[in-house]
Amino acid sequence: MRRLAVLLALLLLSACTTIPTQGEVERIPMTAEPRSVELAPEPPQPDMPPDRLAEGFLQAMAEPDADYAVARQYLTVESAATWQPSSGAGIYDGRVAEVSDRILLTGTRIGVLDAHGRHTPVADTLEHDFRVVQEDGQWRISNPPSGVMVSRYIFERFYAHPAIYFMARNGSHVVPELIHLPEALLTPARVVEALLAGPGPDLAMAVRNTIPPGTRLAPEGATISPDGVAQLTLAGLPSRFDESQRRELGAQLMWSLTAIPRVTGLQLAVDGVPYPLPGQDEDGVLELASQQGYQVLTRGTSTDLFGVRGGVAGRLTSSGSFLPLDTGERDVAEIALSLDAARLAFVPRSRDVVITGPLEGELAELDLQFSSIRSLQFASGYLWFLGRDGEDATQVVRVDQQGAAQTVELEIPESPIVDFSVSQTGARVALILAGSSGNVLGSATIVGDAAPRLEQWRPMPLIDDSGAPLQGYRSLDFSGESEIAVVAQPGSERPSVFLVRFDGSLVRDIGPLTGAPAEVSALPRMGGDALAVRSSSNVVFRYEARIRWSGTGVELDEISYPG
């Protein structure tokens, strides 16, 4: 990477002497925000030794221009013709090594991307033999990987990590799905193509795609006007869509196109004819500001932290004051607030009932026939918790606004649940399960409304940026649409707090803290940067991205942000 940094610096300096000052001005449609730093890998040099050849190939795979034209120059003629870099990608921590006359990429494979850019976390030993051979007197690679291989450094800094959006089955809001692709390929057309491909198997049963099969991107494609309006032309979209379908179509397209910086509106045409969308202005532009109601995180109103101290529930204000809540003089063990802070729920020390109602109103006791109730939270209009049933089995329970409880069917490994968190979209859940060799972090999809169940369980092996696998998971909470905050231990180091994309693609240590973190709570909002931690000695710290961690001077037995 030092060689790449030097190359980038030289190219940037040389570019300053080649800016044209004469000739015709050409108008180029804006398709994406320009990158602050461009990758510019070089083709193989004459008589390049095998190890340098492999290193150059790995660097060249970071640049997708012209279907990876520079990277193909490192391959034999036959391999260059058959290599399919668009089939997916592997993300690795490792290096090139020469072993017994073989040129290998060794290390750890930490993730894979499918052809649509969806990520799956892995933690596999990596050993790829490039099979470097002589061709026309020069060393060339005869065995490239099936897709591309990118280092963690390249993936984190030169890939885009946007969300595209599908519609919740009840049509009330959009649900994100993360994709990852080189920044040079992040264009409106690529975003629309990802939508046309539909959701991945992990999400498909929880959402629907308003764009029907058979719809395609028209030859006119998708561009961005200088004032930030995405101009999109589709082909094959039914003209018979009613107003509700068009409204959902506009929301899904508009929110997905926010993956492109600067996009503030959408103009849609179908088969060359303007396609009206409810809410558009007189110029046929659907503005992002009109679609805020489809984004669940915009419904949050309170930024106060709530908690429990000595059996008393209360609110911790920004000034550090602890203001008790009216809970009817009950001895409180755990508290939860809805995202808009309008509804309150708490569990008394007996942990055998739930008491809930308006924050500023009359509370009602729900006898739900569960014991050891914990991990209380609101999401997607429901109250969720963990509780033991009559057979002493831990269950995930969902309670509607009328107080009716449903046990959620669990199609996950039969292991004790340490903690769980439900996304505010109601489509995803993150869980910590107790395992024989340590706690395991994983994810699942919430399927069904009348009879909810957790399906599509996927473990989430995580490796921090030092190469240490995370372990000792003990607490987690959704901090945004697609990000969770989790307390974990990197290798033999002390526990810390990590922000993790829900698909396990990006792991960021936001410690250190004074004292060992025991519980984390997050305020789910866009950006995911409002967190609180309770240490093992009950000292509370708050996190804001600009100021990092700061002590509140308050000790609490339990903490909870709204949501």
Residue 26, Cβ neighbours under 10 Å: how many? 5
Assess contact for 497 and 485: CB atoms under 8 A.
Answer: yes
Assess contact for 552 and 542: CB atoms under 8 A.
Answer: yes
Dihedral of alpha carbons 549, 511, 505, 180, sign = positive
Q: Which two tokens stand for residue 191?
A: 């975003």
**Residue 6 or residue 349, greater confidence:** 349
Is the pLDDT at 23 greater than 60, yes or no?
no
pLDDT tens, 515-542? 899 999 999 988 767 899 999 999 999 9
Assess contact for 421 and 428: CB atoms under 8 A.
Answer: no
Q: What is the pLDDT of residue 33?
A: 42
What single-letter DSSP state applies at residue 139? E
One-character DSSP codes across 68-82: HHHHHTTB-HHHHHH
Which residues, 6+ apart, have CB-to-CB distance to 83 below 8 Å?
A: 68, 72, 75, 144
Assess contact for 470 and 462: CB atoms under 8 A.
Answer: yes
CA 459/CA 463 separation, integer angstroms: 13
Is the pLDDT at 462 greater than 70, yes or no?
yes
Which residues, 6+ apart, have CB-to-CB distance to 206 below 8 Å?
A: 168, 169, 175, 427, 428, 445, 446, 447
pLDDT tens, 142-178? 999 999 999 999 999 999 999 999 999 999 999 999 9
One-character DSSP codes across 166-235: EEETTSSSEEEEE--EEGGG--HHHHHHHHHH---TTTGGGEE-SS-TT-EEEEEEEEE-TTSEEEEEEE
Size of the chain, expressed as the number of residues it contains: 563
Q: What is the pLDDT of residue 145?
A: 97
Is the pLDDT at 350 greater than 50, yes or no?
yes
Is the pLDDT at 32 greater than 50, yes or no?
no
DSSP-based three-state secondary structure for 155: helix
Q: What is the pLDDT of residue 299?
A: 86
Q: What is the pLDDT of residue 135?
A: 98
Q: Which two tokens stand for residue 501?
A: 């994309």
Amino acid letter, 316: L
Mean pLDDT of the chain: 91
- pLDDT band with cut points at 50, 70 and 90 for residue 37: low
What mean pLDDT comes out for the span 193-209? 96
What mean pLDDT comes out for the span 14-19? 34
CA 43/CA 69 separation, integer angstroms: 9
CA 475/CA 262 separation, integer angstroms: 36
- pLDDT band with cut points at 50, 70 and 90 for residue 38: low
Task: Print the SS3 string covering 251-308.
Answer: HHHHHHHCCCCCCCEEEEEECCEECCCCCCCCCCCEEHHHHHHHCHHHHCCCCCEEEE
Reading phi first (left if > 0) and then psi (alpha if -120 to 50, else beta), residue 414 is in beta
Burial degree of 1 (CB within 10 A; 0-12, 13-18, 19+): exposed
